[in-house]
Amino acid sequence: MAFELLDWIVVLFYFLIIFGIAWWVIRQQKNTSTDYFLAGRNLGWFVVGASIFASNIGSEHLVGLAGSGATDGVAMAHYELHAWCLLVLGWIMAPFYMRSKVFTMPEFLEKRFSPTARTVLSVISLVAYVLTKIAVGIFAGGIVFSVLLPDINFLGMNSFWAGSILVIVLTGVYTVLGGLRAVAYTEALQTIVLIFGSILVTIFGLQALGGWGELRNILGPEMFNLWKPLVPHGVEATWAPVRETGRMAWYFNDNYPWIGMLFCAPIIGLWYWCTDQYIVQRVLGAPDEREARRGTIAAAFLKLLPVFIFIIPGMISFALAKSGQSQAIQNVLFNADGELIREKAQQAFPLLVANILPVGIRGIVVAGLLAALMSSLAGVFNASSTLFTMDFYSKFKPKASQQQLVWMGRIATSVMVLIGLLWIPVIQGGKGLYDYLQGVQAYLAPPIFVVFFFGVFMKRLNAKGCLAALITGFAMGLLRLAVDTPVKLGDFAYQNGSFLWIINNTFFQYYSLLIFIVCVIVMIVVSYMTEAPAYANLNGLTYGTLSATDREQSRSSWTIGDVISSVLVIAIIIAVYLFFRG
């Protein structure tokens, strides 16, 4: 279905509001590093919560998560039910960050361990942003445009690349000029547009299909089961290579086995929500611990929505194609033999928008799609520029003026975008956008999770143990990426049963757990084999070195209402797990 005039008017109106807000923020901005990178530490709890949600709910959800719904049902809902990780951020980790008055997460690691640890984490974080958030955001923007506006051709570029570059330019303008304040305030509005638009997609999709009962009848109970078996159905449980798949059954499972979801997914979740600059930067922009905590609670409630507004629409799109109720969607998602084409599944959400929604409503939803794409890119642009400027440039030029710091942040953002563009072919070679994203995060997250959480809870761990864990874990993650990349880029395969073949075919969650176990052992062993840290330098940075004043300040920052709200989040998560039992 082609865009009509009313759809274009709605989208244009959305852009006018977004850039109007950004222009107002830019005019209010003080040209200081605190104002540019942390919004002057003056963000209220709703803006903090909405900004966290909008930054998280981006391209990987609109394209990748809906695509995983089409291929694997609710399996990926585990990651979306990690709203409890936001409570860990607000109640446990945020007080340490707020007391330290840091700009970045690597800066906190410097205070806890050493300057070298800060540098290593900054490098890992920047690599992660290029390989995941920036490249994925650009790729997903192209997917959306190629489905909704397939006839666009600009300077020899097809709709995929023209759309990718357009999203980058539009987002980069207000991000580069306005900093975190412009990002946070525009994200607050984008959250509303995104949620409203996605709810409309779910409603109209279910109406077109015939209701929730019809969805379950078409797809069957297995697509609604959160707890997948360790071994795929129909595959012999053996350590020997399986001829039919060419993979080792106990190592690999396309359907996300429960043991990986139970033990690996929380590690990735806690890394992402509690230690990643991309998310925590919004919390650092709050004026105090109370606003920061309430912002994370608000974000936790919002985080419960993606299961129903992204995964379910992906399943609806697949059901419409499978049942033959939408020939247009079926022609894209299925091959001539009636089998689902996995790499096409990431078009499930935009296909639903293009073929199911009425005129006008389609424009609102496309505005929501653009909101998600732009908000996630804006967040990572700002986080990347903060990391590079505060953790690298300011070290080399300690006497740099506030204006120089701001301008260097803008330059750093532009360079990282170009690198992200070059990485897109690797994503295209994967079996799915969300699968690619979770895989890369699984390889890079464990060492960061270990040094932050173990560092806060165990005061005996020292800088040498931290560095050993970071370097070991990062090396293991890069090894897996180096082994996987040639396979994804072309028709390449390792010799069956070889060491590199085993690494490439080990299910990504199991490999992530291996990295985690190795990092824990390395950090503890190295720390206890070397001298203890100077505890006087760790005041307020670990639980073992908190003063009575620190504890009292934290206790006075929350009310019974905050506790009840947090318990309600946990109760809803449990209810969703009980609902999706197949």
User: What are the extents of the domains in the chain?
Assistant: 50-435+543-579
Question: What is the pLDDT averaged over residues 507-531?
Answer: 94
Quickly state the pLDDT bin for 562 (edges 50, 70, 90): very high
pLDDT of residue 243: 39
Cα separation of 474 and 461, whole Å? 19
287 backbone φψ class: left, alpha, beta (φ>0; ψ -120 to 50): alpha
Tell me the pLDDT tens digit for each residue of 274-307.
998 878 888 888 888 898 899 999 999 999 888 8
pLDDT at 73 over 90: no
Tell me the pLDDT tens digit for each residue of 498-513.
888 888 888 888 899 9
Q: What is the mean pLDDT of the chain?
A: 79
Tell me the pLDDT tens digit for each residue of 396-431.
777 777 677 767 776 777 776 676 666 666 555 555
492 vs 100: which has the higher pLDDT: 100
Question: What is the pLDDT averaged over residues 142-150?
Answer: 70
User: In sequence order, what DSSP letters do the residues of 244-279 get, joined into one string?
Assistant: TTTEETTT--TT-BHHHHHHTHHHHHHHHHHH-HHH
Per DSSP, helices labelled H in 93-158 are 94-100, 105-112, 115-128, 135-148
Tell me the pLDDT tens digit for each residue of 209-237.
889 989 889 988 888 887 766 555 444 44
Q: Which CATH class is domain 50-435+543-579?
A: mainly alpha
pLDDT at 245 over 60: no
pTM for the structure as a whole = 0.77
**Angle at alpha carbon of residue 68, lines to 341 and 488, rounded to 5°:** 60
Cα separation of 408 and 404, whole Å? 6
Question: What is the pLDDT averaged over residues 453-481?
Answer: 94
Cα separation of 397 and 150, whole Å? 47
Quickly state the pLDDT bin for 28 (edges 50, 70, 90): low
Tell me the pLDDT tens digit for each residue of 528-537.
999 999 998 8
Per DSSP, helices labelled H in 357-492 are 361-388, 394-396, 402-428, 433-457, 463-489
- Distant-in-sequence, close-in-space partners of 85: CB < 8 Å, separation ≥ 6: 266, 269, 270, 272, 273, 274
Query: Residue 581 carries which DSSP code?
Result: B
550 vs 158: which has the higher pLDDT: 550
Cα separation of 136 and 59, whole Å? 7
Quickly state the pLDDT bin for 469 (edges 50, 70, 90): very high
pLDDT at 84 over 90: yes
